[in-house]
Chain A
Amino acid sequence: MNAPIGAGRFIGQRLPRTEDARLLTGRGLFTDDVVLAGMLHVAFVRSPIARGRIVSIDAIAAGGLPGVHAILTASDLAVLRIDMLNFFLAVPDIAIGPLASGRVAYVGDPVAMVIAADRYLAEDAAGLVAVEYAEEIPTVTISDAKRTGADPVHAGTESNEAAAMGDPEDDAIEAVLAAAPHLVSASFTHQRISQSPMEARGVVAARRGGELTVYISCQSPQLVARYLAQAFGLPPANIRVIAKDVGGSFGLKSIPWREEVAVIAAGMLLGCPLKWTEDRLENLTASNHAREQELTLRVGFDAEGRMLACHADYGINNGAYPHGADANIAVMMFLWAAYKMPQFSFLARGWYTNTPGLGAYRGPWAIETQVREVLLDMAARQIGIDPIELRRRNLITKADQPCTTPLGIVLEDITPAECLDKLLEAVDVAAFRAEQAAARAQGRHLGLGVAAYIEPTAGSTGIAVLATDVAQIRIEPTGRVTAILSTHSQGHGTQTTMAQVIAETLGVGFDAVSVFEDDSSRGGFGAGASGSRQAVAGGGAAIRASAILVDKVTRIAAHLLNANPAYVRIEDGMVHVAGVAEMTRSLREIAEIAYGEPDRLPPGMEPGLEAQYRYRPPPITFTSAAHACIVEVDTETGFVSIKRWVCAEDCGVMINPAVVEGQIAGGLAQAIGAVLLEDMAYDANGNPTTATYKDYLLPAISDVPDFEYIHASTRSKAEGGFRGVGEGGAIIGPPTLINAIADALSPFGARCLDTPLTPSRILDLIAGRTSAKRHEAAGPAAEKATMPPPPAPPAAPPSPAKAAVDGLWKMVLATPMGPQEMTGRFETDGETLRGRLDSAQGAQDFQGKVSGTHLKWEMKVTKPVSITLKYDIQIDGDKLTGKVKMGFFGTAKVTGVRA
């Protein structure tokens, strides 16, 4: 490698972005810009009710309109066998089709698609499709979902519980909490958020002969190509997915969903190019959403404010058709990861409702930081300690590492405590307190909020689609460099940052590198923008592939010039031999020989200058940060004005600090939106009440202050020393701002438990009124009052039931990565159980205990990580139910039937 990474010629420089030249002049290529000959346009007929049966669909009048080519429903698409897949590319355990089949499950559910000569005509016809529904009472909120056990959202399920992990309570932890000198408890709710990329979803699909070309607004054309191949059952077609420019995504476009798949399916059936561009009404009301959650924490502290134990109870609204049925285990994995928390238990559950499905949104687990940091400030007030001092006593410092979190994650190089120190060098807290006191004397309410966190980035274990990224780089015979990467930009600027990495490593000019990442037919699989991974995984792959080329050029040059390879180096596109200026050759000369005169190469060397490297980054690369913000709250109007915001973050070696700061700032603006403005609201009948941008309020320039940055830059263990930074602002921003508001409102004793903190809610807090939302949303107390009693533990069966247990069982384990099918063989011998589990991962024998029809056993597995699985199963007739404790992955449900 030519240059030290970290303070390089290109790495670390604020280079202007390559992308901007086309985007500023209107020369980008977004999906709706694509026009193909003979292309027709799609509009969807959508459900106006949240739940009901489709009685009839009458498309006769609509089909008779001039310009209408076809009107398709679920039964028309059924000739193609389509498996909608979740983000893990697994088949979900509820039936999901591209179009509603027989029933509708949310307002906006696509019931039929109209295909017409232009979008105006398609919408005209969609308005004429008459659908009769038998309306039913919908399940809208998490509280509804918990109550409606008898009539679940999805037929064939026993309850609305979409996923569950953990346990209601742990006796040991309850004892610690009961004895703790200080117990701090609070229940928080987070509103539903629309990701709101400025470009909504869109797709153009064209089948020509044996090739299916799909232009789609997405986060990775490679992932979409793989998704489509699997969803359509590996069709005998060459699938090519193209996404040049994408107008933001933030998680929404992580996989193609019902409408996109419906358009692609229709395109395959009809054989003519089809376009669907989601309009804003559709995007707000029918796209998947995020973040509707509740989290109750109970934390015990000792007399000095050191944490002793915690129990968390969490719920997330999965809507009807989530991108992956989810209890959001990451919330629990990272809730206390940066803090010294000796004992921790949790119950995390996801709930199906009659609302649009749960999708990803920047930092999907972000509520952990929001609730933890807000609760720590509450604890500081309750215990009587300064909130910064409380954090210092509990944060994991460099000296504490390596260490392992309560959920088994090894920490080696996190720096939140050090970021906090750096932050406080820039923010004079004592001076602020004096200013705050003076302002209060004048009736003005200033507040300071501080928060700290760590962010997992570029995870490469546990989620198969996120494990690796690939770089294919060639030095062309012209001497120019072409890089084809599995990264993808929806605004990330990877065409620029990856070129910086490659130019630095190869020793060529930045302008000599062309980066392509827009076409699945070039390059290899990768998840693109997902999990803050691109700098780490894509950058690592780019460095390693470049290094292969450096080595090859060096060996060729040494051979041609009869020089010692140790003295060969590449600089600015020229190949030098140290101390011998006349031996200097251009990279182009070397490349021409490598491709065109293979006889001159070292014996046995493959011709050409082309390299590929598929890089797996470390299991998790952590980014750390501490932020502070100062606000003024107008207690007459409830309006919050942000006066200052300082960010001290450690994202390792920065490739382009302007891009890093852009990522942080964008996340912070979204945080400000979530705390003060945005609320994707539904009424009790499941009707969306914020269907336009006049109702769903996004932050404007006047809502977002100038951000100040302090960069710490501790090298990571990943290639290049990079750490991800894509999601952090959206994670740490909310508690920083909420804590500042709560500090400003502390004279009123206000506790900020629910977002958004709109002016009217802030006036409620000042007046000590309980917000209307809190009345509706069931806190744990209300939940206990309205919930049916939890099912009694399985009673000991009356007699040994060898016949009831022994034999073959078909079982399904509901893992976070999707349902996993297994075959179980049980054989009882008195109280001893012997058996064998067979799955796609292999077979394993076990031995355990049986009491009647109650089975218990443990088995160790080593893949994907080494954990002990503890099974607890109850057999009832030909059915089997129970759970399996999976180490730090929590608890998963097991169901089964006799085979």
Chain B
Amino acid sequence: MSEHHIAVTINGRLHQATVEGRQVLGDFLRVTAGLTGLHLGCEHGVCGACTIIVDGKAVRACLMLAAQADGTSITTVEGLAAPDGTLHPVQQALRDAHGLQCGFCTPGIVMTLAALMQAPAPATEETLLAAMSGHICRCTGYQGIRRAIRALTARPPGEPA
């Protein structure tokens, strides 16, 4: 079994570790780094619960190996809120809209929406809804998630369409 030394910046802090070639990034983050906020829901890239942000892009941590993360900068759901505890706008919008129930799929949904909201051009409702079709939520029927997306993409009053 091959072993790899990796150095990854996670939520702003550098982590160094030796990992087996076969170790999935999601397992590395949960078990080795202790970041249990990301959840492994299907481990084959369908449910989206394990989504994190790698170098600015939403990535499924079950479809990437830890060794592939060497040299990257990763944000997990634990690293999204402000240090004083103020929720990220995506987290706040989901909370206001009752966008979660059991909360198991939620970290992945938060990270996909956060990744798209930070893109250079502001994301549209259509973009975010299309991205959400890659996430499975078994509890909510997606009603609150859709409301949160509408709140996030509503233009401030007076701004031209």
Interface residues of A (CB under 8 A from B): 14, 16-17, 19-28, 30, 32-33, 35, 118, 120, 196-199, 245-248, 250, 279-280, 489-493, 658-659, 661-662, 665-670, 692-694, 698, 700-702, 704, 706-707, 729
Between-chain CB contacts (< 8 Å), 29 pairs: A19-B103, A20-B94, A24-B103, A24-B106, A26-B38, A26-B77, A27-B78, A30-B36, A30-B39, A197-B102, A198-B39, A198-B137, A198-B138, A199-B102, A245-B102, A246-B102, A247-B39, A248-B102, A250-B138, A280-B47, A491-B100, A662-B101, A665-B142, A666-B140, A692-B44, A693-B44, A700-B136, A701-B145, A704-B143
Chain B residue at smallest Cβ distance from A199? B104
- CB <8 Å contact, A247 and B142: no
Docked Cα-Cα span, A16 to B147, in Å, equals 14
- CB <8 Å contact, A25 and B37: yes
Docked Cα-Cα span, A22 to B107, in Å, equals 11
B residues 81-119 near A (Cβ < 8 Å) are: 81, 87, 91, 94-96, 98, 100-107, 110
Chain A residue at smallest Cβ distance from B38? A26
Q: Which residues of A contact B135 (CB under 8 A)?
A: 700-701
Is B133 positioned at the interface, with any CB of A under 8 Å from its CB? yes
How many chain B residues touch the partner (CB < 8 A)? Answer: 55
- CB <8 Å contact, B49 and A700: no
- CB <8 Å contact, B103 and A701: no
Which of B23, B41, B104, B143 interacts with A120 by CB under 8 Å? Answer: B23
Dominant secondary structure at the A interface = loop
- Per-residue contact bits, chain B 65-81, to A (CB 8 Å; 1 contact, 0 not): 00000000000111011
Is B129 positioned at the interface, with any CB of A under 8 Å from its CB? yes
Chain A residue at smallest Cβ distance from B130? A702
- CB <8 Å contact, A16 and B96: yes
- CB <8 Å contact, A665 and B143: yes
- CB <8 Å contact, A693 and B42: yes
Docked Cα-Cα span, A26 to B15, in Å, equals 19
Docked Cα-Cα span, A359 to B100, in Å, equals 25
Q: Which residues of B contact A670 (CB under 8 A)?
A: 138
Interface residues of B (CB under 8 A from A): 20, 22-23, 30-31, 34-44, 46-47, 49, 76-78, 80-81, 87, 91, 94-96, 98, 100-107, 110, 129, 132-146
The 7 A-B residue pairs with the shortest CB-CB distance, nearest first, are: A26-B37, A247-B104, A23-B103, A491-B102, A491-B101, A665-B141, A669-B141
Chain A min CB distance to B151 (Å):
13
- CB <8 Å contact, A198 and B81: no
- CB <8 Å contact, B141 and A668: yes
- CB <8 Å contact, B142 and A694: no
Docked Cα-Cα span, A26 to B47, in Å, equals 17
Q: Which residues of A contact B22 (CB under 8 A)?
A: 120
Chain B min CB distance to A603 (Å):
48
Which of B38, B81, B129 interacts with A701 by CB under 8 Å? Answer: B129
Q: Which residues of A contact B47 (CB under 8 A)?
A: 198, 280, 693
Which of B49, B78, B145 interacts with A25 by CB under 8 Å? Answer: B78
- CB <8 Å contact, B95 and A20: yes
- CB <8 Å contact, B41 and A26: no
- CB <8 Å contact, A491 and B143: no
- CB <8 Å contact, B107 and A26: yes
Given A24-B103, A26-B77, A198-B104, does the pair A701, B132 have CB atoms closer than 8 Å?
Answer: yes
Chain B min CB distance to A702 (Å):
5
Docked Cα-Cα span, A248 to B102, in Å, equals 6
| 11 further A-B pairs in the complex, CB-CB below 8 A; given A25-B77, A197-B104 | A17-B95, A20-B103, A25-B37, A26-B35, A26-B107, A248-B138, A280-B44, A665-B143, A692-B42, A701-B135, A707-B143
Docked Cα-Cα span, A665 to B36, in Å, equals 28
Which of A24, A118, A120 interacts with B100 by CB under 8 Å? Answer: A24
Chain B min CB distance to A682 (Å):
20
Chain B residue at smallest Cβ distance from A28? B103
Chain A residue at smallest Cβ distance from B44? A692
Docked Cα-Cα span, A24 to B114, in Å, equals 12
- CB <8 Å contact, A120 and B20: yes
Which of A279, A491, A667, A704 interacts with B103 by CB under 8 Å? Answer: A491
Which of B40, B81, B87, B139 interacts with A491 by CB under 8 Å? Answer: B139
Dominant secondary structure at the B interface = loop
- CB <8 Å contact, B140 and A659: no
Chain B residue at smallest Cβ distance from A700? B133
Chain B residue at smallest Cβ distance from A197? B138
Chain A residue at smallest Cβ distance from B144? A662
Q: Which residues of A contact B106 (CB under 8 A)?
A: 23-24
- CB <8 Å contact, B91 and A24: yes
Chain B residue at smallest Cβ distance from A673? B138
Docked Cα-Cα span, A247 to B38, in Å, equals 13
Of B31, B81, B141, most A-chain CB atoms within 10 Å: B141
Docked Cα-Cα span, A669 to B110, in Å, equals 20
- CB <8 Å contact, A704 and B139: no
Of A20, A245, A248, A706, most B-chain CB atoms within 10 Å: A20
Docked Cα-Cα span, A592 to B104, in Å, equals 40
Q: Which residues of A contact B105 (CB under 8 A)?
A: 198, 247
Chain A min CB distance to B67 (Å):
14
Q: Which residues of A contact B136 (CB under 8 A)?
A: 198, 693, 698, 700
- CB <8 Å contact, A662 and B102: no
Q: Which residues of B contact A665 (CB under 8 A)?
A: 140-143
- CB <8 Å contact, A25 and B101: no
Which of A27, A198, A698 interacts with B37 by CB under 8 Å? Answer: A27
Chain B min CB distance to A622 (Å):
23
Q: Which residues of B contact A245 (CB under 8 A)?
A: 102-104
Q: Which residues of B contact A669 (CB under 8 A)?
A: 138, 140-142
Docked Cα-Cα span, A35 to B27, in Å, equals 13
Q: Which residues of B contact A30 (CB under 8 A)?
A: 36, 39, 104
Q: Which residues of B contact A19 (CB under 8 A)?
A: 103
Chain A min CB distance to B29 (Å):
11
Chain A residue at smallest Cβ distance from B128? A701
Q: Which residues of B contact A493 (CB under 8 A)?
A: 101
Q: Which residues of A contact B101 (CB under 8 A)?
A: 248, 491-493, 662, 666
Chain B residue at smallest Cβ distance from A493? B101
Chain A min CB distance to B135 (Å):
7
Given A25-B91, A701-B146, does the pair A198, B46 have CB atoms closer than 8 Å?
Answer: no
Q: Which residues of B contact A27 (CB under 8 A)?
A: 37, 78
Chain A residue at smallest Cβ distance from B134? A700
Docked Cα-Cα span, A196 to B42, in Å, equals 10
Chain B residue at smallest Cβ distance from A663? B101
Chain B residue at smallest Cβ distance from A490? B102
- CB <8 Å contact, B133 and A198: no
- CB <8 Å contact, B104 and A248: yes
Q: Which residues of B contact A33 (CB under 8 A)?
A: 30, 36
- CB <8 Å contact, A25 and B138: no
Docked Cα-Cα span, A120 to B103, in Å, equals 27
Docked Cα-Cα span, A23 to B46, in Å, equals 21
Chain A residue at smallest Cβ distance from B78? A26
- CB <8 Å contact, B141 and A666: yes
Docked Cα-Cα span, A747 to B53, in Å, equals 50
Q: Which residues of B contact A17 (CB under 8 A)?
A: 95, 98
Given A30-B39, A33-B36, A491-B103, does the pair A661, B143 have CB atoms closer than 8 Å?
Answer: yes
Chain B residue at smallest Cβ distance from A668? B141
Q: Which residues of A contact B78 (CB under 8 A)?
A: 25-27
Q: Which residues of A contact B37 (CB under 8 A)?
A: 25-28
Q: Which residues of A contact B143 (CB under 8 A)?
A: 661-662, 665, 704, 706-707
- CB <8 Å contact, A698 and B138: yes
Q: Which residues of A contact B144 (CB under 8 A)?
A: 658, 662
Q: Which residues of B contact A28 (CB under 8 A)?
A: 37, 103
Docked Cα-Cα span, A665 to B98, in Å, equals 12
Q: Which residues of A contact B44 (CB under 8 A)?
A: 280, 692-694
- CB <8 Å contact, B102 and A280: no
- CB <8 Å contact, A247 and B103: yes
Docked Cα-Cα span, A880 to B43, in Å, equals 53
Q: Which residues of B contact A26 (CB under 8 A)?
A: 35-38, 76-78, 107
Docked Cα-Cα span, A20 to B104, in Å, equals 11
Q: Which residues of B contact A666 (CB under 8 A)?
A: 101, 138-141
Q: Which residues of A contact B35 (CB under 8 A)?
A: 26
